[in-house]
Amino acid sequence: MALSEFGLIQDYFADLDLGCAQVIKGVGDDCALLAAPKPGYQLALSTDTLIGGVHFPGQAPADCLAERALAVNLSDLNAMGAEPYAFTLAITLPTADADWLAGFARGLGKQALAYNIPLVGGDTTRGPLAINIHIVGQVPQGQALLRSGASVGDSIYVAGTLGDAAAALQLIKSGDLENSDAPYLLQRFYCPEIDFSLGAALRGIATSAIDVSDGLLADLSHILTASRVGAVINVDDLPQSPELLRVGGRQQALDWALGGGDDYRLCFTMAAKYANALSRQGFQIACIGHIVEGEGLRCQTANGETFPPARSGYLHF
């Protein structure tokens, strides 16, 4: 890697700064230099690492991987109500394979352009495949969506559908890629769409927010802990795609929607009175329960019976 490192960076990663005005100096110096954010804004920073074989199947297409790596980081910004500003990429590669790198750079460039976020620097090393992205966003001062603001009486919402990515992983694992629902589900896994207009619309309205990366139960629990409240979830109200239901059947689909990770949907709490206005603006949001006093999370069915979930999300350790 040592000999070709600089050529590699130059060939694949130097041109993804998109000519954005905030980039004073991008790839090629000791640090990237960025203009300070707009007056009245704060910076939001986050980082996420994808490890081959852990966070994605070993043989995943390079362009899909790049899109997903950036998407999961963008999702963190959105869950904070922040907008994209810049990102860096630290990549560890087993070999410098030109085809793989070209695919990766193509996917990354496509995604960066779609969300108008420049790649401003990074690090390149040799080793088992790992992709680390460090992302920078900006958010109006004092308006970031925190995990800690949920209060008793708030309703709990999810944007879009849950469980699709877990179903996709199942299709990949079982090799059932000819399944007619595979294209939709794989797209949801590899390229979760991040809706920044929703994150922005939730500023000043939502009392808390998180993106669903480890599974609804696990991630909602983070809100509950940070906010020192409990929740009741109605499992019959979980938004599920027809594709998920066809692939999993009712029981399995519910398990995926509750415990499956990788969906990168927003889960947030707010007063129910705001829901109609958001729906009228075209946001697909579903009320899945409400915040209660105490601690912990209780799942129930539409007729009020307690529903015991099969698992509580993906825990790394």
Which parts of this chain interact with ligand ADP (CB under 6 A)?
9, 13, 27-30, 89, 91, 119, 121-124
- Cβ distance to ligand ADP smaller for residue 91 or 224: 91
Collapse the DSSP code of 158 into the 3-class scheme (helix H, G, I; strand E, B; otherwise coil) and give the result. Answer: strand
Residue 6 is a binding residue for Mg ion (CB under 5 A):
no
- Cβ distance to ligand ADP smaller for residue 105 or 223: 105
- Cβ distance to ligand ADP smaller for residue 8 or 159: 8
- Cβ distance to Mg ion smaller for residue 6 or 228: 6
Closest contact distance (angstroms) between CB of 134 and Mg ion is 13
Calculate the dihedral angle through the C-alpha atoms of 277, 280, 284, 288, rounding to the nearest 10 degrees. Answer: 40
Q: Choosing among Mg ion, ligand ADP, none, which partner's interface includes residue 119 (Cβ < 5 to 8 Å by kind)?
A: ligand ADP
Closest contact distance (angstroms) between CB of 266 and ligand ADP is 28
Closest contact distance (angstroms) between CB of 286 and ligand ADP is 38
- Cβ distance to ligand ADP smaller for residue 84 or 163: 84
Collapse the DSSP code of 232 into the 3-class scheme (helix H, G, I; strand E, B; otherwise coil) and give the result. Answer: strand
Calculate the dihedral angle through the C-alpha atoms of 208, 209, 212, 213, rounding to the nearest 10 degrees. Answer: -100
CA 267 to chain centre: 11
Collapse the DSSP code of 130 into the 3-class scheme (helix H, G, I; strand E, B; otherwise coil) and give the result. Answer: strand
Residues between 119 and 158 with contacts to Mg ion, criterion CB under 5 A: 123
Amino acid identity, residue 217? L
Closest contact distance (angstroms) between CB of 96 and ligand ADP is 11
Tokens of 115: 């969300």
Amino acid identity, residue 304? G
Give the DSSP H or E segment for 98. helix 98-114
Q: List residues binding Mg ion (CB under 5 A).
A: 123
